Structure formats: C-alpha cells, structure tokens
Chain A
C-alpha cells in the first residue's frame, strides 16, 4: 500500500460516509436480501482495515480480496500483545479485528466490536462444531479453558453478555485454529518423547524453552505440571490462586536450575531457537515447525499422551462499521469462509473453520496429508511453493479428528488473571 493510495482512500471513505448517511435506511433494509446492484460499483471504493497477528494477516489474502471482491483490504500485522491492546483501546484504528477467542473474552466488554447476524453468513451451517455447540463430533467432550463456543455468541446485537447457545449473534466468525503441543528436534534428542513432563526433564537442561505470553505460557506450564502428577487442576483454564502459585513455583525452581535456554515471545524467536539448535524441546506453534522444516532441519510437532493445548481465532467487526462498509465486511467474511483462504492456511498447517469448502482449493494429496493424516503421495509444498515434505511423509499427530479430538484445554483468560500475570512476572524476574 502506498502513501498516495492511502490519501485517496481517506477522502473516498469520507465521501462514502456522507453518501451512506443521505441514502441511509433504505439501502440498509435492501441489504438484507442480498447486495443491491447499485452497490456493485461503490463497493470497489471501500477500504477495510484489518489487524491481527502475522499468522493470518497475509498480504496474499489482501491481494486475492482485491481480485475476487474488488475492494481494498489493508492488513496490519502485530504481535499478540498489541493485538489485544488495539482491539481494546483503539477502536478507530480498525474495521476488522482478527483476534483469538481468549482475547475476545477479554475485550468484548470494551464494546468495540459488534455481533454478527449468522443469517447473513452463508456457510454458517458448515462451520466446525467446535465453534458452535462446542463439540467437534456429537460424542466429543468439551475441553477445559476458554472453549470458543463459550465466547462465540452473545444474546443479541449490542449485548455484552455471552450466550450459552447458538443465539444467532456471533462475536467472532471463526477462521483458523489448531492444536498446539511441544516441538522437538528428533535429530538432537534421539529418543521418543511422549509426555509434557519432558519439558522439565533435566536431560534437556539449558536446551528447553517456553513461551513468554502469560495467558498461554501458564497453560503450557499447567500441562507439564499436571503430567508430572504434582497438581490435578479443577480447570486449567481457570485456576485458583493456590494452583497458580504452585505451578509457578515449580517453574521458578526449574528456571533457577538452568532448565531454560530462553523464553520466547514471538513466533520468529521460536523458529530461530529451534533452527539454530539453541533449544531442542519447547512450546511451539504449527507453522513455526513448518518454517523450521522448510529449512531442511528435522523438527517434529510431537503429539503427547496428555493431549493438546488448542487455540482458535476469528474475525470480529468493529462497532463503528455501518452501511456499505458493513456490507463489504459481511461479503469479505462470506468470501473468507468460502474456501480459498482456508486452503491457503491449511497448507501452512492450520485448520479452516469450514474444512469442506477448503477442500476445493487443495489437491487431493494435500487434503489427504494435511486433513486426513494420510501419507503424502507426492511432494507437499507450502503456499509459496517451497517443498516441505517428500512423498510418504505423514503429518505429526495424524488426522484432523485425531488432533482436534485430543484437545485437553483451550487458551483462556482466568478470573485470577491479575494474580496470574504478577506471578508470571515473578517467574521472569527469578
């Protein structure tokens, strides 16, 4: 995006707002029945500003939006702290927020986002059950933590209260999600790893790492501590003060003993730690594994017997959106769920909220490898065309249902959040 473009955009936006105000309600009413043709041209002038983490704020998506829908999507990629910050405090700086569900729980109350009418979401019925009823399959158990469906709906437009059913008013339209576990360097560890406890195994002294985002790090820590048999949590996603204190105490002890090489805060740091061999076992995110592997370095996203820590992200609409821009936003969301983006992201190792539409945008072999957990028949490539796996490779953890079915807890915000953050700071300062 060039500066000149920005300038033009700004003036267009203000003109549009004027126009929308004069034509007003009539158009709004017409919109419910689909897009009036009169807008087909106008919509090309719309610019939507989206922000989120680098995970999904990809310029390729913006390019494709311009191509398919005609309007401009302006992406800003931020780190996860800044994402929460902007969603909560800078409502004027965005039109679309690409945030995680636990962040949604935190910031929804700030009133900067508006609920979406699910009747306007064409593929709503095809969205994975995890995001609607909370159950992946009818038999699934719901994991601990801030499961997406618990903060996925509100009671109505303008409501700040989360609904416990599919109320028809969605907070975030789910986009991508994944099951996270520990990443390891099999060439340097040379033995099977099966449990979260290995993170604190003295064997890996000075070669382990955990992520330094308190709300997520504490969950990984809890997975480890529970696997060690030290604590059985009532709910890892909502610990008591005592549970938090004890968990942190165990980690402070390990830190003082020199267990950790580093605490990473950004996606990129985790890749470098692993690729350079500084660390052989650590909390990691799926595309980071992909990135390490695409450099030709062996790295496994190790499925563990205690299960996965999972997260999900979605698109939220700014409360300031209205009129033509709001319609453009709905159109964008419908496009988002229609498959192209899903296919793109699934080839990076994430899952799409509407898997079946993504299938059309993946080869059969890709679908088999990424979603069904089958052995690759040919080379598996990243969306940018780098070879990732040779024929015969199988995805770590297997199929979608095996992986998402083994989620132990979701990223979350606890009632004792303030206390937890303070204790986490003690860990960092120790």
Chain B
C-alpha cells in the first residue's frame, strides 16, 4: 500500500460504491419521479409532456387534504404509543435487567416475531379482532360485553394497533442503544445527591435518551407516512393514507399522477425529517 495517498482520496475511494449505489437507485429514481410528475397519461401509457394538471388536481382536491389529515392522525397516534412502549421497554432492559447476556437474550426475544413476514403478522390480527374473533368471544364469555365490539376490526383502531405492533421495535432499538451508553455513574451520582427514582428518570435518563427517541421517531414517522398496505388491510379498505393513494394510482397505471403525489409526499417527509434532525446529531449519537 502506498502511503502517499491522501486520507481524503482514500475516503473517496471507500465511499465510491456507496455513492454509486445511492446515485443509481436513489438519486436517479427521485429525478425521474420529478420528471414524470409533469408528464401526461392515458389509460395504458404515459408520455413526455409538460403539464401541471397532475399537481393542479392534487393540490386543490379535498381528497388530498383529507388523506393527509388522516395520515397525520395515524402518524401521531402511532408515534405516541411507539414512543411510550419503546421507552418503557428499553428502560426496563437497560436499567433493570442486570446482566448483559440476559439483556441480549430478552432483546432478541423481542426481535424474533419480526422475522415472520409483515403481511402474515398483519393479517393474523384479523381472526383475533373479528366479530367472532378471539378477543370478542373471550370478552363475551367473560360476561364483560354482550354484543361483539365492531370497532375492533376494520377501523382506525385496528390500523393503529397493527402499526404499533409492526413498528414499536424500531423505537425500542435506538432508545435501548442510547440508554446503554449512559454512564451508570451519573445515576449513582444523582441517587447520592438524594434524587428519587422518578427524579432520576425525568432529570437524567429522559434527557440523555432523547437522541435515541429522536432516531426512533424518525423511523416510526417515515414508516407510517409511506405505508400503503397496513392501512388497506386493517381498515378493510375503508380508510385511506397518502401511500395508499399512490399505490392505487400505480395500480391504475396513472404513473404521472402517482409521481406527483410521490413528490408531494417526499417533500412532506423531508421537511419533517429536517425538523427532527435539528434535535439530534445522528452521527454522534449512535
């Protein structure tokens, strides 16, 4: 190896495969989507043109507004539950489980369900929540209710439940990671200074876990914003989301319309991510 290569050149060489792959399969596709969003289409084809009709309709339609409001509603609810669950679980693993092997074992226990296909895990909620499903029959036989609860399935409740089920691990992992880096002596110091367990939690652990929570939030928010299949399955096709609109447009061969929706969605997501990134320096906090 020749020592005269500058560190910068070495770095460039090392990142070139990464840059190549992202250039080809990320940057180029985004540029194409932007380009196609101005194209025109008919029933079976799309062709070069420069029209703003796709955006005109998108930005003035009431459906777009409703869809975004609905998607935001899902996002906020899912984020709230994922954060609460993710933080609590990570807190338990990081501070209450005492040995590393036990921590790893319990952590892996949480990850195993994620190996079964998302789609299978999602549709398996249906027999559980259905009108004659396990949940309803258990509640009825326990005498808690006498009519099956209709809102358990094919409802916004079902959508949020499935999302939380699918994505909570994306919060657990980064929060757990951050918590493992908290210097235990800080907690000892706080305790010695007379802080209660609750005070330690709010004044030491939560502030120090913020980067992990932010990273987890970025995952959860983007996953929910881009989803198109959970909403369809769990709402019984009765609810909509931005991703679902795009996937429907693709399904109906309206590629330029889908591209326009995609551009708007991308801008929305990037704005949200930019805001969230202001609170955390991902590179330092990992």
Chains A and B form a bound pair:
yes
Chain A residues with CB under 8 Å of chain B are 81-82, 84-85, 88-89, 105-110, 206, 209, 212, 214, 255, 260-265, 269, 272-273, 276-278, 413, 417-418, 421-422, 425-426, 428-430
Please state if B45 and A88 are interface contacts (CB–CB under 8 Å): yes
Chain B residues with CB under 8 Å of chain A are 42-45, 57, 61-63, 66-67, 70, 126-127, 130-133, 150, 153-154, 232, 235-238, 240, 245, 248, 250-254
Please state if A260 and B238 are interface contacts (CB–CB under 8 Å): yes
Enumerate chain B residues within 8 angstroms of A272, measured Cβ to Cβ: 126
Enumerate chain A residues within 8 angstroms of B126, measured Cβ to Cβ: 272, 276
* Contacts A/B (CB < 8 Å), 30 sampled: A84-B253, A88-B44, A88-B45, A88-B253, A89-B253, A106-B43, A108-B44, A109-B42, A110-B45, A206-B150, A214-B252, A255-B238, A261-B154, A262-B154, A262-B238, A263-B236, A264-B236, A265-B232, A276-B133, A277-B131, A278-B131, A413-B43, A417-B43, A421-B254, A422-B57, A425-B248, A428-B238, A428-B240, A429-B66, A429-B70
Per CB-CB distance, the 5 closest pairs between chain A and chain B, nearest first, are A262-B236, A81-B251, A263-B237, A88-B44, A429-B240
Q: Count A-B contacts at CB 8 Å.
A: 86
CA distance A142 to B161 in the complex (A): 49
CA distance A105 to B43 in the complex (A): 9
Interface of B is mostly: loop
Enumerate chain B residues within 8 angstroms of A263, measured Cβ to Cβ: 236-238
Please state if A426 and B63 are interface contacts (CB–CB under 8 Å): yes
Please state if A425 and B251 are interface contacts (CB–CB under 8 Å): no
Enumerate chain A residues within 8 angstroms of B153, measured Cβ to Cβ: 278
Please state if A421 and B252 are interface contacts (CB–CB under 8 Å): yes
CA distance A429 to B236 in the complex (A): 12
Nearest-neighbour CB distance to chain A for B58, whole angstroms, equals 10
Nearest-neighbour CB distance to chain B for A258, whole angstroms, equals 9
Q: Which residue of A lies closest to B45 (CB)?
A: A110
New A-B contacts (11) at CB < 8 Å, excluding given A276-B130, A430-B66: A84-B251, A88-B45, A109-B45, A261-B154, A263-B238, A265-B232, A276-B132, A418-B254, A421-B252, A422-B57, A428-B237
Enumerate chain A residues within 8 angstroms of B70, measured Cβ to Cβ: 429
CA distance A206 to B265 in the complex (A): 33
- Asked, given contacts A85-B251, A413-B43, A425-B248, whether A278 binds B154 with beta carbons under 8 Å apart, the answer is yes
Enumerate chain A residues within 8 angstroms of B133, measured Cβ to Cβ: 276
Nearest-neighbour CB distance to chain B for A391, whole angstroms, equals 31
CA distance A206 to B128 in the complex (A): 19
Interface of A is mostly: helix
Enumerate chain A residues within 8 angstroms of B43, measured Cβ to Cβ: 105-107, 109, 413, 417
CA distance A428 to B64 in the complex (A): 12
CA distance A33 to B184 in the complex (A): 88
Of B133, B154, B236, most buried by chain A (CB within 10 Å of CB) is: B236
Enumerate chain A residues within 8 angstroms of B66, measured Cβ to Cβ: 429-430
Q: Which residue of B lies closest to A112 (CB)?
A: B44
Please state if A262 and B237 are interface contacts (CB–CB under 8 Å): yes
Enumerate chain B residues within 8 angstroms of A428, measured Cβ to Cβ: 237-238, 240, 248
Please state if A85 and B238 are interface contacts (CB–CB under 8 Å): no
Of B57, B61, B238, most buried by chain A (CB within 10 Å of CB) is: B238
Q: Which residue of B lies closest to A273 (CB)?
A: B236
Please state if A422 and B237 are interface contacts (CB–CB under 8 Å): no
Please state if B130 and A106 are interface contacts (CB–CB under 8 Å): no
Of B44, B126, B150, B253, most buried by chain A (CB within 10 Å of CB) is: B44
Nearest-neighbour CB distance to chain B for A160, whole angstroms, equals 11
Enumerate chain B residues within 8 angstroms of A82, measured Cβ to Cβ: 251
Nearest-neighbour CB distance to chain B for A288, whole angstroms, equals 16
- Cross-interface CB contact of B132 among A261, A277, A422, A426, cutoff 8 Å: A277
Enumerate chain A residues within 8 angstroms of B62, measured Cβ to Cβ: 426
Q: Which residue of A lies closest to B69 (CB)?
A: A429
- Cross-interface CB contact of A276 among B42, B61, B127, B232, cutoff 8 Å: B127
Enumerate chain A residues within 8 angstroms of B245, measured Cβ to Cβ: 425
CA distance A413 to B130 in the complex (A): 35
Enumerate chain A residues within 8 angstroms of B67, measured Cβ to Cβ: 429
Q: Which residue of B lies closest to A264 (CB)?
A: B237
CA distance A263 to B57 in the complex (A): 25
CA distance A197 to B150 in the complex (A): 24
CA distance A422 to B45 in the complex (A): 18
CA distance A386 to B43 in the complex (A): 41
Nearest-neighbour CB distance to chain B for A324, whole angstroms, equals 29
Nearest-neighbour CB distance to chain A for B72, whole angstroms, equals 14
Nearest-neighbour CB distance to chain A for B137, whole angstroms, equals 12
Enumerate chain B residues within 8 angstroms of A110, measured Cβ to Cβ: 44-45
CA distance A264 to B236 in the complex (A): 7
Enumerate chain A residues within 8 angstroms of B237, measured Cβ to Cβ: 212, 262-265, 269, 428
CA distance A211 to B254 in the complex (A): 20
Of B132, B232, B235, B252, most buried by chain A (CB within 10 Å of CB) is: B252
Q: Which residue of B lies closest to A107 (CB)?
A: B44
Enumerate chain A residues within 8 angstroms of B238, measured Cβ to Cβ: 255, 260, 262-263, 428
CA distance A212 to B245 in the complex (A): 13
Enumerate chain B residues within 8 angstroms of A106, measured Cβ to Cβ: 43-44, 253
